[in-house]
């Protein structure tokens, strides 16, 4: 009795939602529509709501935990990575956010016009079409809509190009200033006994931090706006198709981040091993025999062992990356099944136009890209936060006495920064 009652609740809810969106279930409805509607209209939204609630509770619990170690205070750096980003990108943020927001209505127009071309120009009657003082026959109206579509696509491409160029300029500027600041601390003696590790740190390890600084605020706005714009367009064509587009989203939000965390752990292990190897090589270069042009005899086994460990880590990293990409592509390829099944049935029943279905299928090709970018960014936040704290911890090591004095080094770096 209880089990039947519990099953009846989502069943009645599905019928109520289907009726509310204009697709009521009747005796003539094919049997396979019931489970598909159950998944897209009931279970997937419940899973999304449960996942969002779990994320919220986890965030509140994390905020309520006692604070750990006090934030590190390193001259020239902020304690947190987002404070660091806002400090060094504040001047460029209005332009980047303006371009990102301006691209969204253009994107919606580029999605809407193909539907109009099919429904209003190709598969339509009532020509010539009068629009104020203008009159168009069918071919002229078709060419007009095609020209507007081309204009929308070109404008969207130009805005994306401008956003990427601006992000690249901001990222490179932040990276240059970051390297100069680290160099200033290095010249002042920061790093203590691990000063040799600063070389690979400046050369390679800070690049993800510079790239993150360029997109920390802009990427969630642009990609999140793109995701919501495409989703809104699908819902406008038909609510069931819009719900079908996110039916597998709960699975993606659970599986992909877990796989990404495994990739991030291996990436951090590779960075740590490269840093250790760089310190070992730098130490060998300071030995007396190296100064005389002779190959140091000591430390060869350590270097060879480091090479083997890096090879092993890179192999595992590539395997995890390929596996995550395969899973992501597989989950993304399942969603069109719902479009073809549900959308095709609605077109046959006359409840949906063919142009709307074609437009939804075309829009879905761009639907998974912003979702992947958002998931990647979500994982990159934690990865960059760890890298940034490791950087601060390295620079916070006790300073050693260096010549020239720190004040002279600071003057040199200020001169270099002003010249660049």
- Cα atoms in the 13 Å half-sphere on the side-chain side of 69: 6
pLDDT, tens only, 347-394: 888 888 888 888 888 888 888 889 888 888 887 887 788 888 878 877
Q: In the prediction, which pLDDT does 406 show?
A: 44
The domain 76-419: what is its CATH number?
1.20.1560.10
Q: What are phi and psi of 134, to 5 degrees?
A: -105, 150
Q: In the prediction, which pLDDT does 404 show?
A: 46
Q: Are 279 and 337 in contact (CB under 8 A)?
A: no
The residue extents of the domains of the chain are 76-419
Q: What does pTM read for this prediction?
A: 0.77
Structure tokens at 375: 């998931």
Q: What residue ranges in 301-366 does DSSP mark as E strands? A: none
Widest Cα–Cα separation across the chain: 92
Average pLDDT score over residue span 321-327: 89
Q: What are phi and psi of 207, to 5 degrees?
A: -60, -45
Structure tokens at 221: 């706005």
User: Minimal CA–CA distance to 111: which of 235, 243, 247, 239?
Assistant: 235
**186 vs 85: CA distance, rounded Å:** 22
Q: In the prediction, which pLDDT does 128 show?
A: 81
Q: In the prediction, which pLDDT does 5 show?
A: 54
């Amino acid at each position: 009795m209880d089990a039947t009652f519990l099953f009846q609740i989502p069943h009645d809810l599905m019928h109520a939602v289907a009726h509310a969106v204009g697709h009521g279930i009747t005796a003539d409805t094919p049997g396979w529509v019931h489970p598909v509607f159950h998944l897209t209209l009931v279970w997937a939204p419940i899973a999304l709501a449960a996942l969002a609630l779990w994320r919220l509770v986890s965030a509140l619990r994390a905020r309520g935990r006692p604070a750990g170690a006090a934030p590190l205070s390193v001259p020239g750096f902020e304690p947190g990575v987002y404070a660091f980003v806002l400090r060094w990108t504040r001047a460029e943020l209005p332009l980047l956010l303006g371009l990102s927001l301006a691209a969204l209505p253009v994107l919606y127009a580029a999605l809407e016009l193909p539907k109009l071309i099919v429904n209003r120009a190709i598969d339509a009657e009532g020509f010539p079409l009068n629009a104020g003082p203008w009159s168009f026959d069918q071919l002229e109206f078709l060419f007009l809509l095609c020209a507007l579509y081309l204009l929308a696509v070109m404008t969207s491409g130009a805005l994306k190009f401008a956003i990427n160029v601006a992000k690249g300029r901001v990222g490179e500027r932040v990276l240059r200033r970051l390297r100069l600041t680290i160099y200033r601390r290095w010249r002042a003696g920061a790093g203590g006994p691990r000063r040799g590790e600063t070389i690979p740190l400046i050369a390679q390890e800070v690049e993800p931090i510079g790239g993150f600084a360029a997109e920390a605020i802009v990427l969630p706005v642009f990609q999140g706006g793109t995701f919501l714009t495409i989703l809104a367009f699908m819902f406008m064509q038909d609510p069931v198709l819009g719900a079908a587009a996110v039916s597998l989203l709960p699975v993606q939000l659970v599986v992909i981040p877990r796989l990404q965390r495994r990739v991030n752990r291996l990436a951090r292990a590779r960075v740590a091993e490269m840093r250790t190897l760089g310190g070992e090589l730098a130490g060998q270069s300071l030995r007396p025999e190296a100064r005389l042009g002779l190959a140091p005899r000591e430390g060869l086994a350590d270097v060879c062992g480091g090479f083997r460990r890096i090879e092993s880590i890179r192999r595992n990293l590539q395997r995890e990356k390929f596996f995550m990409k395969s899973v992501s592509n597989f989950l993304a390829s399942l969603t069109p099944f719902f479009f073809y099944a549900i959308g095709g049935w609605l077109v046959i029943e006359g409840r949906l136009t063919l142009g709307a279905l074609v437009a939804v299928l075309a829009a879905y090709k761009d639907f998974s890209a912003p979702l992947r970018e958002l998931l990647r960014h979500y994982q990159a936040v934690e990865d960059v936060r760890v890298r940034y704290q490791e950087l601060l911890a390295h620079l916070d090591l006790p300073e050693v006495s260096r010549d020239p004095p720190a004040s002279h080094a600071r003057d040199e770096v200020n001169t270099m920064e002003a010249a660049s």
